Amino acid sequence: MSEIRIYVEGGRPGDEARYRKAFNAFLAAPIQRVREKRIQWQVIPSKSRNQAYDAFCYALIDHPNSINVLLVDAEAFVAKRGMPWEHLKLRDNWDRPDADDNRCHLMVVTMEAWFIADREILTKHFRKPLNLVDDIDDIERVPKQKVEQIMEKLARELIFENTTRSPMAQNCSKQFAPTLYAPSHSIAIAFSTLSMR
């Protein structure tokens, strides 16, 4: 093995370099371990979920000697941990390609879930106690729509000029450290495991 190729959902046209840089910063520790073994690491932003899946499937054919990995949002609670392909078949009707479960990793239901999981930084960002999130014990079980509603309500309470998802996410994500949030199928853990191979 000489290369790890990660096909990631996300990245707007023209913004791929910044997206790659952000993911490389997020996964700095496993990347360092991989590079010490002289293995190349490439993050490939693929825009939509379907485009990421298609690019991954083609990579299995075009780059058979690489470790090709698919990384997409779960979009819904994952009932069976360690079985991402089953989840994606049920939710998206994606057929499992010739790749085992170690080649597919699911992020949290929605990016804003990371913000809610890191209460300390969230409180610092909004400069007030956050009663809205006090009763959330397992953010992964909160539906995507509810997570987005919580973030929108927090934004409205602070009279943000723009409460749409993108500006909210961009503003908060500069301060957050998603590695503090580490459920068993989070990306940080998944790629730490991958980089040890």
- Judge if 38 and 128 occupy the same domain: no
The string of pLDDT tens digits covering residues 63-112 is: 999 999 999 988 888 888 889 999 999 999 999 999 999 999 998 777 77
- Judge if 42 and 116 occupy the same domain: no
Would residue 166 be called left, alpha or beta, if left means φ above 0 and alpha means ψ between -120 and 50 degrees? alpha
- Judge if 57 and 87 occupy the same domain: yes
- Judge if 102 and 123 occupy the same domain: no
The model's pTM:
0.69
Per the structure block, which two tokens stand in for 177? 């450290």
- Judge if 102 and 19 occupy the same domain: yes
Tell me which residue range forms the domain holding 66: 3-108+181-195
- Judge if 101 and 116 occupy the same domain: no
- Judge if 71 and 100 occupy the same domain: yes
CA distance 180 to 188: 9
- Judge if 142 and 187 occupy the same domain: no
pLDDT of residue 123: 74
- Judge if 141 and 84 occupy the same domain: no
Mean pLDDT is highest, among 55-59, 121-125, 155-159, for 55-59
Lateral strand order in the sheet of 3-8: 40-45, 3-8, 67-73, 104-107
On the question of pLDDT at 172 being above 50, the answer is: no
Please state which of the ranges 31-35, 49-53, 120-124 shows the lowest mean pLDDT: 120-124
Given pLDDT bands bounded at 50, 70 and 90, which one contains residue 183?
Answer: very low
- Judge if 102 and 185 occupy the same domain: yes
- Judge if 67 and 13 occupy the same domain: yes
| H or E, element range at 41 | strand 40-45
Please state which of the ranges 90-94, 100-104, 136-140, 148-152 shows the lowest mean pLDDT: 136-140
Task: Please give the tally of structural domains in the chain.
Answer: 2
User: What residue type is 179 in one-letter code?
Assistant: T
- Judge if 72 and 126 occupy the same domain: no
